[in-house]
């Protein structure tokens, strides 16, 4: 895990105010570059939340600071935890798809996020990684 990229408070606020599509693109670009993803974990396990159709969605962020800012209200006992990108695309996303869950990409403090299928996100991250490798 890199853990070395530090975000200024102003940058965090600016990014959290961007719309879902912009945060989605930022997420894909950063995780493909840095090789890690962040989510929230409690003593009972990783957090999930329900969507409109009561489908469960797993939230993920590109950096610790974003995840930790969302550890409030029902997630106040959660803490940010890293996931290696290889594990994320090799096990997590296929597993979430198999379980019928969605992925909430880069939720903001209000819980708004781009929601997508896990395999769609996997494909998008792999395309982005291929571009990094080609450059």
What's the pTM? Answer: 0.89
In this prediction, what percent of the chain has a pLDDT beyond 70?
93
- β 102-105/56-60 pair status: parallel
Look at the domain 9-128 and name its fold: Trna Endonuclease; Chain: A, domain 1 (3.40.1350)
Is pLDDT at 2 greater than 70 in this prediction?
Answer: no
Contacts of 83 (CB under 8 A, 6+ apart): 36, 37, 38, 39, 60, 92
Q: What is the total residue count of the chain?
A: 135
Contact 81, 39 (CB under 8 A): yes
The string of pLDDT tens digits covering residues 4-53 is 566 777 787 788 889 999 999 999 999 999 999 999 999 999 999 875 66
- Pure H helices in the chain: 9-17, 20-34, 64-69, 85-87, 93-98, 118-134
Neighbour order of strands in the sheet with 79-84: 45-46, 36-42, 79-84
């Amino acid at each position: 895990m890199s853990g070395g990229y530090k975000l200024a408070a102003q940058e965090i606020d600016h990014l959290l105010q961007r719309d879902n599509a912009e945060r989605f693109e930022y997420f894909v670009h950063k995780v493909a570059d840095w090789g890690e993803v962040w989510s929230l974990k409690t003593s009972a396990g990783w957090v999930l939340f329900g969507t409109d159709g009561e489908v469960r969605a797993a939230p993920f962020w590109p950096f610790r600071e974003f995840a930790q800012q969302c550890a409030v209200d029902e997630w106040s006992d959660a803490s940010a935890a890293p996931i290696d990108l290889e594990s994320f695309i090799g096990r997590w996303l296929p597993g979430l798809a198999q379980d019928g869950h969605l992925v909430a990409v880069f939720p903001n403090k209000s819980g708004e996020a781009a929601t997508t299928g896990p395999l769609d996100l996997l494909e998008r991250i792999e395309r982005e990684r291929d571009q990094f490798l080609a450059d």
